[in-house]
Structure 1
Amino acid sequence: MPARLRLSPPVAFAAVAATFVWFLAASSAPSPLYVVYQERFAFTEFTLTAVFAVYVLALIAALLVVGALSDHVGRRPVLLAAIALEIASLVLFLVADGVGWLLAARIVQGVATGAATATLPATLVDLAPRPARAGLVNGTAPLTGLGLGALGCGALVEFAPAPTRLVWVLLLGGLLVAALRVALIPDTIERRPGALASLRPRVGVPPRLRPGFAGIVPILLASWSLGGLYMSLGPSVVIELFGVRNHMVGGLVVAALCLTGALTAFLLRGRVPARVLTPAAALLALGTLVTLAGAVSGLLVVATAGTFVAGVGFGSASFATFGTLSALAGPHERGELFAATYTLAYLAFSVPAMIAGVAATAGGLRPTALVYGGVVVMLAAVATVLGRRVAATAAPERVPA
């Protein structure tokens, strides 16, 4: 394509940032629809969380396999392939008439989102007018997309016609626009050999970083496990525990956690991440406890307040964990370290939710949610202690560019 048709770097940066938000919005859009599909196709909570979990497992596989591919073949080809797969997944959702279609759609969507998630942050760094701008977008775009996707879909399900069709049509239209914009972004990577070798999955933590990494594991598990519960069973909990059948509220539950987290991460920009670990864990524990109190008492307003507090902890934890790991690792260690971190994070996002689905099917949603929340609180309590140790040993520096 002629160079004169390429987008300028600032415009390309904005286009890629918008694509990042749109991808994550598409990934969270099914959350308010799970209840609708459950009623329509008559499946259990276990099946519901299975539909959620296969997406995350496919995403992890894609992260591990194609995570470094764009370093060899260029950013644009990988992003266009990811968009094509995402379009295919939305078409599967559009024509879905059973659980099998939903599983297939989520698997394809997981692969697409994994490939995009591995490539979009690097593309933003390449195109950013200032390095700090890329860090800010990479820190807030995923949570913003997750929150907006759930909120927008919840509104469409409640107030618009054909709820299981319209949302996918709108997302498809946005992705077609995204494909056109990505096709026009400038090349930032020269092709180099090693593409096939880069597809070999590799996960590990450099020995020098293992003590610091171990100190961050509890808050990583607590925050991502809580996110997995909200994204999979959150709308179902609102219906069964509080008797609210408004699908907009189901979307608001997810949005309250994610958008509050995104705003918190934005407000924390420039702070020393290691010093945020302990307050983040404490807020995560407090917010979860207040939410559990609302569930026990049946007071939605209490549970909502707890969700907002947990959202502050969620965003703080995201900022603190990834910022601290960036500060601990050298440039040549960050790729390996973040592959391991994201793998653990997404496993925490999916496996506990899957177990919760089994438990909810066997013993009910209320006791499952209470036990699940209790485990999150215990992990967060451990994280408050370990966070102090990590902060004491970490270098006192701000988020690296």
Structure 2
Amino acid sequence: MSGMLTPVDGNDLAAGEGADGASGAAHPVPSSRPTRRPWPLLWGAMFACSWGGNQFSPLLLLYVHEQHFSEVAVTVLLGVYVLGLIPALLLAGSLSDRHGRRPVVIVGVIAALIGSGLLALGGLGFGWLMAGRLLSGVTVGVAMSAGISWMKELSQAPHDPGADAASGARRGSLAFTLGSAAGALVAGVLAQWGPIPTVLPFVIHLVVAVPFLVLVTRLPETAVGAIGVGGALGSGSAGVGSDVRGVGGPWWAQLRIPAASHKRFVRVVAVAAPWIFAAAAMGYGYLPTRLADQTAPFGIAYATAATVIALGASSLIQPVARRVHSLESARGLGVGTLGIAVGLVLVTIAIVIGSPVLGLVANAVLGCGFGISLVSGLLEVQRIAGARDLAGLTGVFYALAYAGFLLPTAISALALVIPAIDLLVAVVALAALAIVVVRLSSRRHLPEG
């Protein structure tokens, strides 16, 4: 079975005893337990990448006031991130199956550094911000596909024999949510009260991320069979039982992910996934811009608080999410999507009555909902995916999830011809429909084993 420790042959022990003659003492058997678990270094790299992806969210009002961008323009900046993220999600996982996890994640860290550098130059014009946001999407896409697969493989024997089967999913999702929260908190506080608010937040992120260019190179490669990766993997081996295999042929052959057509993925996971980051975008991206008049002159601080509350709630609920998740049904995704739907109702009411306090409550509820859905969705992906498809299917899952990040952009555009409140009611209705669809297929098409 993948990830099991290598058994020690009893004949080897007997031979060892004979070699010591009269003493009868056996040679010590080398332990396969690593002296130092490698996953925390990867966790830090994913944390830094997620920081870079979300540090921009609380700054939307800053650009409205400082550079006089329209509401549509700032929601475009919020959404353009997805245009870099989705291709990276779809490509990075498959490329890491082929060429190894380490080089692909290093590219993600480099993209994070360049992205923050471009955002720091955003005062030169809208195009610099667009380019920076695009690269921020690339870095999160890499971290959340290749990174989350690498985390799963480093969270099992021989790298971490004591970890349970869900450890990789929990650690990966916590790296994302805590990194996102830290990025938003630091950027928001500096933008509200610090000097050079359009530059300093991104410089701080550069300082945080640079060390991981070196630290990631020290991690053991786990994609045994990938091109250029053998049994001995530089600083460490992939270990016994690693179940990731590179696939030969042209690179585009890697883009085919058979598990993506699995009925459970299509009818359950793909239905719930877009609501994960639709919830995030609506809670701490769209809502603060609609309550700008009520929260002035502390609009940036309010947007920061909304972001930290949503992501903090998501982080706190994730250890509980494993108990909510079920191997016999889609209970976890159903509960998570229900929480998101309730949160969207609260968002709508908060906008109608102009209540910043209710807006913060809505973010807490949304955070709980998408935290449960994120963990449960990753666990569903890990049991649906075959050995070859893990990174690729993880990428597809995150691509579908992040497609929801475009929801505020779509609402802002459609609000030019349809009342925004009508659009919000329609969004709530669609979320309710998603709950029904997930429920109908909850116990169907369960993977074997």
Bin for the TM-score computed over the shorter chain: 0.7 to 0.9
Question: Percent of aligned positions with the same letter in both sequences?
Answer: 23
Is the contact between residue 226 and residue 376 of structure 1 (CA under 8 Å) also seen in structure 2? Answer: no
Matched, 1:228 2:263: no
Match of residue 206, structure 2, among 172, 181, 184: 172
Per the alignment, residue 202 of structure 1 pairs with 255
| Structure-2 change in CA distance of 1:329 and 1:134 (3 Å) | closer
Match of residue 384, structure 1, among 420, 428, 435: 435
What's the offset of the Cα at 1:207?
8.1
Per the alignment, residue 159 of structure 1 pairs with 193
Task: Map residues 126-141 of structure 1 onto 2, 5 A cutoff.
Answer: 126-128=153-155, 129=160, 130=163, 131-141=165-175
Task: Map residues 313-332 of structure 1 onto 2, 5 A cutoff.
Answer: 313-332=369-388
1:73-105 Cα deviation digits (max 9, x unpaired): 332222222222221111111222210110111
Match of residue 309, structure 2, among 245, 256, 261: 256
Q: Distance in 1 between matches of 2:66 and 2:91?
A: 35
Q: Distance in 1 between matches of 2:249 and 2:312?
A: 38
Match of residue 64, structure 2, among 38, 49, 59: 38
Task: Map residues 2-401 of structure 1 onto 2, 5 A cutoff.
Answer: 10-96=36-122, 97-128=124-155, 129=160, 130=163, 131-190=165-224, 191-192=226-227, 197-199=250-252, 202=255, 206=259, 209-210=262-263, 213-240=266-293, 242-243=295-296, 245-273=298-326, 274-332=330-388, 334-350=390-406, 352-359=407-414, 362=416, 367-368=419-420, 370-393=421-444, 395=446
What's the offset of the Cα at 1:320?
2.9
Report SS of the residue matched to 2:195: coil
1:175-231 Cα deviation digits (max 9, x unpaired): 112212112223434552668833567366658623552244443233332222335
Is the contact between residue 23 and residue 113 of structure 1 (CA under 8 Å) also seen in structure 2? Answer: yes
50-59 vs 229-238, greater mean Cα deviation: 229-238
Q: Distance in 2 between matches of 1:356 and 1:396?
A: 37
| Structure-2 change in CA distance of 1:142 and 1:375 (3 Å) | farther
Is the contact between residue 280 and residue 366 of structure 2 (CA under 8 Å) also seen in structure 1? Answer: no
1:321-370 Cα deviation digits (max 9, x unpaired): 332343445445545544433332222222x232223245x369xx53x3
What's the offset of the Cα at 1:279?
2.5
What's the offset of the Cα at 1:58?
1.1
| Structure-2 change in CA distance of 1:375 and 1:165 (3 Å) | same
What's the offset of the Cα at 1:395?
4.7
233-242 vs 86-95, greater mean Cα deviation: 233-242
Is the contact between residue 356 and residue 372 of structure 1 (CA under 8 Å) also seen in structure 2? Answer: yes
Is the contact between residue 89 and residue 109 of structure 1 (CA under 8 Å) also seen in structure 2? Answer: yes
When the two chains are superposed, the root-mean-square deviation of aligned CA atoms in Å is 2.9
Q: Distance in 1 between matches of 2:71 and 2:331?
A: 39
Q: Distance in 1 between matches of 2:254 and 2:294?
A: 42
| Structure-2 change in CA distance of 1:127 and 1:396 (3 Å) | closer
1:216-268 Cα deviation digits (max 9, x unpaired): 44432333322223354343223145545342211111222222122212222
> Match for 1:251: what amino acid?
T
> Match for 2:367: what amino acid?
G
What's the offset of the Cα at 1:158?
1.6
| Structure-2 change in CA distance of 1:206 and 1:179 (3 Å) | closer
Unaligned runs of 5+ in 2: 1-33, 229-246
Normalising by the residue count of structure 2, what TM-score does the alignment of the two structures yield? Answer: 0.77
> Match for 1:22: what amino acid?
A
Q: Please say which structure displays the higher CA radius of gyration.
A: 2
Unaligned runs of 5+ in 1: 1-7
Report SS of the residue matched to 1:163: coil
| Structure-2 change in CA distance of 1:348 and 1:395 (3 Å) | same
Is the contact between residue 145 and residue 398 of structure 2 (CA under 8 Å) also seen in structure 1? Answer: no
> Match for 1:381: what amino acid?
A
260-269 vs 109-118, greater mean Cα deviation: 109-118
> Match for 1:38: what amino acid?
V
Aligned length: 386
Q: Distance in 1 between matches of 2:77 and 2:148?
A: 27
> Match for 1:26: what amino acid?
G
Q: Distance in 1 between matches of 2:111 and 2:388?
A: 31
What's the offset of the Cα at 1:115?
2.4
Normalising by the residue count of structure 1, what TM-score does the alignment of the two structures yield? Answer: 0.85
Q: When you count helix as a share of all residues, which structure comes out higher?
A: 1
